[in-house]
Amino acid sequence: MPWRLAPSRILVSFRFSVRTMSTRTFNDAVDKLNSLQSNYAAIEASRASGGRMTQYAKHEMIEYLGRIGYSVTDLNQLNVIHVTGTKGKGSTCAFVDSIIRSTTPHRKIGLFTSPHLVSVRERIRINGVPISEEDFVRFFFEVWDRLEQNDQREYSSTPPKPMYFKFLNLMAYHAFLTLKVDTTILEVGVGGEYDSTNIVPKPIVTGVTSLGLDHVIILGATLDKIAWQKGGIYKEGVPAYTVPQPPEALEVLRSRAMEKMASSFHVVHPIPELSSLPLGLAGKHQLQNATLALHLADTYLKAQGDVQGDIAQLTEPLNEAYMRGLRATKWPGRCQTVPDPDDSKSTWFLDGAHTVESLTSCAEWFVSPGLGIKPEATRVLIFNCTHGRSGAELLGALQAGFKAQIQLHESATPAEQLFDHVIFCTNVTYSDGTFKGEFTQKGLDEKDLAQLKTQTELANAWKIMIPTFPEARIHVVPSIEHAVKTVKHLRSTQDTPVDALVTGSLLLVGGLIDVANLTKSALEI
């Protein structure tokens, strides 16, 4: 697809009169945002088209960009660090953000990520802080109004407005350009080659995190096909990085870097110095994400002239600013331990892992010494999965991970008895069947929700996997609030602590943070 729209009439200039937003509220913006095609519905539409729809994604995004008054070359002003992958891309972006802020505090840094946990504002951050409700309203309606005022489309197939994720991506571009950020860190939504973030002609550096099987309907059912999609973010004349990958994936990534004429291709390897550094993000797997982030940040800072040295060589020992950034990194909902603010004997262990690989890492984290296995605690698993993922496969990976870690640490607790209760719930926020406004996912399978089809399948998979598990302790509930109430009830009937692991879906983790009153403790926003 072309990088530039030929007809100049699509790229328009806007002269806006200053108008008050007093009559347009944050809730108004969220309502309009939720009226757009949801991510779930977009995935289902792509499934129905056999994946053909994704091929039009970039030219549609370029068209939307032109309709709000920008060209793709304007995006080069953002000085972009572009990150994709299956596992760890959000954490890697968080590490990069923290390293650069620690090293160059004078820089204004924009960070675009997805999904959000509690507030949609989390997706667009400036210097680590989600934009305010006032700024969200301002930038949202500036984009919305420009799209409404200029409905002239080059391609008849392009919808009048982008779907949910693309709109927020478009809004992030507008916000970052308006605020004149010095640095932008872009996390890919799905894939890479056809993702709406992949219209920046000349990023400063690109990186691919650990790959695995996810979104196979869109990206392909094999690692080499997924690697082809992810490697689509590599660009001509731009350094390309990745972590150690399975051979078939690494071969494709290397080939894609050559095809895209990247200036260099690097596979990062463990840095001994990191093994003794207390990272801000928990979990052994974060060492790999931190390593990639160090190389991305170091290459970026050298390219910008903020750090001296060979741009292709990470200088060791690491400078103190880099290490300070790694220690200070925060990324809520990923291997996060949150004491219950209302009950000193309840602890929530939150991890939005939703792939086989990430759930294996979740198990490794939870069963690490001094964390998830306390002989005096009642342990509860709260789980859900979304978007057609195989619940049985994901639960199997989680349980296999528990078993491996218990054997490794020679724990006396059998893996089959690790949890006293398991709860399978939907991602519906409240017990009355409603969502928190910023969680609404229009397009969810209402029949599936009404019949608790996915949750019942998960419960059956658990019974098959652990046939000795007491059936009375397997709970299938229709909302996150029901799940939280079940945990609270358990705690009220006993004096022993309750430790609850919440995983399988970032939407589940985000909803639980809201319902369990953990927002202040977990998010600090």
Tens of pLDDT, residues 106-160:
999 999 999 999 999 999 999 999 999 999 999 999 999 999 999 988 877 789 9
Q: Render pLDDT for 234-278 as a digit per residue (tens, 0 to 9).
A: 999 999 999 999 999 999 999 999 999 999 999 999 999 998 999
Contact between 176 and 184 under an 8 Å Cβ cutoff? The reply is: yes
- DSSP code per residue over 322-372: HHHHHHH---TTSSEEEE-TT-TTEEEEEE---SHHHHHHHHHHHTSTTTS
Q: Render pLDDT for 384-414 as a digit per residue (tens, 0 to 9).
A: 987 656 788 999 999 999 999 998 887 778 8
pTM over 0.85: yes
Can you tell me whether residue 73 is helix, strand or coil? helix
Amino acid sitting at position 341: P
Higher pLDDT, 52 or 337: 337
Can you tell me whether residue 189 is helix, strand or coil? coil
Give percent helix, percent strand, percent coil of the chain, each to the nearest 5: 45, 10, 40
pLDDT for 174 equals: 98
Residue tagged 């999965």 (tokens): 385
Cα–Cα dist 434/447, whole Å: 15
Cα–Cα dist 428/455, whole Å: 12
pLDDT for 4 equals: 36
pLDDT for 309 equals: 87
Q: Find all residues with CB under 8 Å of 17, minimum gap 6, and list them.
A: none
Q: Where are the alpha helices (DSSP H) in 409-470?
A: 446-451, 453-465
CA-to-CA separations, 313 to 266, 302, 400, in angstroms, rounded: 10, 10, 38
Q: Render pLDDT for 181-227 as a digit per residue (tens, 0 to 9).
A: 999 999 999 889 999 999 999 999 999 999 986 655 566 568 999 99
**Any idea which of 162-176, 240-254, 358-372, 476-490 has the lowest mean pLDDT?**
358-372
Contact between 209 and 89 under an 8 Å Cβ cutoff? The reply is: yes
Which regions of 215-270 does DSSP assign to beta strands (E)? Answer: 239-242, 264-267
Region at 314 (left for phi over 0; alpha for psi -120 to 50; beta for the rest): beta
- Which helix H or strand E contains 402, and what residues bound it? helix 391-408
Cα–Cα dist 303/241, whole Å: 15
Taking alpha carbons only, the member of 217, 219, 235 closest to residue 85 is: 219
Amino acid sitting at position 326: L
Structure-token pair, residue 522: 């977990």
Can you tell me whether residue 121 is helix, strand or coil? helix
Cα–Cα dist 374/351, whole Å: 19
